[in-house]
Chains A and B, each alone.
Chain A
Amino acid sequence: MSWISVEKAKKLEERFGYPKVSESKGVVSVEVPKDKFIEFLKFLKEDKEYDFRMFLDLTIIDHGEKEDPRFQGVVILFSPSYQQRIIVKTWALDETLPTLTGLWKGAKWAEREAWDMFGIKFEGHENLVRMLLWETYPYHPLRKDFPLEGIKDTYLPSLNETLRGDSLEGMFNYDRMHTALPTMEDLEITQKRRMPVKTSQIVLNWGPLHPGTHGTIWFLFDLDGEYVKQCDIIIGQLHRGVEKLGENVNWQQFIPYTDRMDYIAAINENHAYVLAAEKLLGIDIPEKAKWIRTMMAELSRINSHLLWLGTYALDLGALTMFLYTFREREKIMDIIEGITGARFTINYFRIGGVFADLPYGALDAIEHLIKDLPERINDYETLLTRNRIWLSRNKDVCIITEEDVYDYGLTGAVARGSGVPYDVRKIDKYDAYGEVEFDIPVGEKGDSYDRYLVRMEEMRQSIRIVEQCVAKLRKMSKNDPYFFQTPDEKKLKVTIDGRGMKLPAGEVYASSDNPRGELGFYIYNKKDGLKAHRMRIRSGAFYNLQVFTKAIIGRPIADAITLLSTIDPVVGETDR
């Protein structure tokens, strides 16, 4: 459906001879030799019959120390004209790969991340520095020979309990030895290496702990007067190694960790992961679970957009907006808390459905909420949309073009604001999205104002979807299953608590449309197993943030706030 067909891929085999096509669970991947890699990708990008113009993701698989060749590069591309994806793979012989930045500028950060995590060098990359860790860090942590708990080589007693003497051990105290931490000098070296050539007198540091950055992002602006000439972003202060964890915990047990990526919209993070895992399992979940999941995902989207609107307006000086949106947000949180048991780190979805049915009264509360919401959104709009200060701070500010969308792999409201109707909900039609009606809002120009309008409209569309979900769920029975029931426990075991659950060998990529762009999970499983061999998380926020460094060039420094707010990254997801 949303993948290139095997026949079409086979044509590539005929044409070039060297590609090897393979298919797993509907996901089609093509393997090419390293020396033909760039040539092949260039063809895929430029040929009208294929038109894989949009860059989605680049990552590495480490097949283990004993394997030779050991590392494999994986590139995921999307074709906007055919609405198809493809995976292209090649072996990273001698631990190097040619750079893709000549074809897609968006590969820049992905390659830096691959170097950081796997130690793969990209030949021809303009400045191959680390992405998430600091420059002097000696290891590449996603390699299979790096232990999960890290290498504890730094003596750090200061965290320890001193109240009862330094005598407590084990569970009651911290280890005296800690994994490496960056010192001030390390950070200085990192900062210098990120921006090797200064063009002007002053480099302004914004963050890492500034309220306007909504988290720990560290911006470097090379300024000429008030105008930005060069910009780079240092992220990673919130890096917790979620991908590594994903390769070291069991399948259901990974869901709580996904909560902690985009903590504003945890439900959507769970969603993307369970979709990928279900695809690998090859199961179809019960109807009721599909509709509940769709409904919850849309509530979470509204929730997330309300937070975005409040903080965005707050950053631009419209303080009261924050209070209004948080009022509505509180109601949504209250409903989510009642249904799932938690407000923030929700962990409600499971591979195979959801862990519990809706509690008594849930649909009434949701109905009550969405009856009221459109009026509230109109209130917000009367405060902002036509306001002249708002207009002058947003209109024509930091334009992101359609070209950029494909080059940088932008997704979500950022892509739609630039006029690209890219929406995974429509492309993949996962869960009940194929059966609900909604429109994709798109902007005209790609300025901050368009991104604002797109998100406002998205909230209205989400309300439409929730309405349809409630109506559908009302017609169901309380006895309908909300969790997958296996036909044969011996062959296929799917449990709510995840004990003893094995997923088959294979390779899948599945994604969901999050409030912050396309969140995709690429799972590569060598053999049936309790854990994944490779768990790659394609973070929408990460790729969207990357375009910041381009869109801010030539703009005054005050626009940085507007741009960052309209890109709306969450650090938990960019850093993972």
Chain B
Amino acid sequence: MSNEKIQFDVVVVGAGLAGSTAAAIAARHGLDVAIIERGRSPGGKNFFGGALYTHSLEEIYPDLWDRKPPLERPVTETGFWFLSKDGMVKATVQGGRINNEPIDAYVALRAKFDSWWAEQAEEEGAFIIPKTLVTDFIYEEGQVVGVTTDRPQGDIYAPVIIICEGVNNILTQKLGLIDHDIQPTKAALAVKQLISLSPKTINARLGLPSRKHGMAISVVGDVSMGMPGLGFLYTADKAVSLGVGVTLHALQETQIKPYELLQRYLEHPAIAPIIEGGQLMEYGAHLIPEGGWKEMPKLFTGGAMVAGDAASMVNALHWEGTNMAIVAGKQAGLTAIEAHQKGDFSAQTLSSYQDGLQERFVMKDLRQYRRMSKFLANHPEFMEIYPTFLNDAMGNFFTSFGKPKRQLYKEIWRSLTSRRSLLKVIGDMVSFGRAVIGI
């Protein structure tokens, strides 16, 4: 056994999307990069809804399609389903610009995809060390110079560490980049079942023309039982993903069991027929950081940077997290290269990571949406009253045969105002608008 110091140019913590991207960029430039991953292999710990965004994948690998990424169906129909207790109103788009090749988004299964994404980094020259948990940092003169791991003789040195540890940002906290753990109002717990069905069945039940068509649906209303939260449905090739996420705060307040909430969604009269006869392939649960801009840690310090979920880079309303993780990983990789060129790993040099991100949608969107999580927490009506109203209204509208239509509109109007005063409705719209536009 050697007692030599284990040394790399860059150490990346976590082989998720942010981590494998950062490593690929730095390794492509010729740096000696190690990615340390606690899972048995990259992807084994990773879990999402969900869909990946083509723009971010192609930004890292312009020859993406030659590399045959293990993606499931392209998203050719997307939008909202509004659930009432026993009904559903659909508001989705399909065709038009959504169908333009390459399709903007693809459904993926992360265990498969992340393992492939890490292989691409390996091909660029990164060295993956799996089955190893990073536990802390090594400092010299106030600067991070390495990490400790949970293995005997487990110290690894590098002048720059890129932390891509995901939502449970224990190391980011240890490093003092943020002074508190995740708050219950600033994260959602999502639970999901992947249910296998034949491609034919999926197509028939969801009205998809072929296996080359797929759906990404956000489900609002009864699915979260009035709590701030969203349900979702994604179509893999031979399976559908159905899940629901609610804030930790809501779980705390209501004391419901997440898997019962999910089961209730699966048994909803509008959902159950979709999955009837399907087999449970895998269940899982994962946190989603929802604090956005307001919960963002300091992004760098001497010898270290943080990217992806660990840095709260998620736009929860748009289900954007993967693309932010990838773009931030890339930026951190570029900054590591710059630091090596300068031979200087101080906070000042690494600050160009943040400067770079300011120019991208990552920081721009997160800033713009900075009021969203508070908005949703304070406006539970968006999760309950409006979806129910919408179901009532549409239901009325399309069953009002032989009724004077003036009466119809009155009824619809009453069904709204009996739930919420007109003034409040206007107030809701204004604050929703503000939360989205970010003024």
The answer to whether A and B come from one shared complex is no
Q: Which residues of B contact A (CB under 8 A)?
A: none
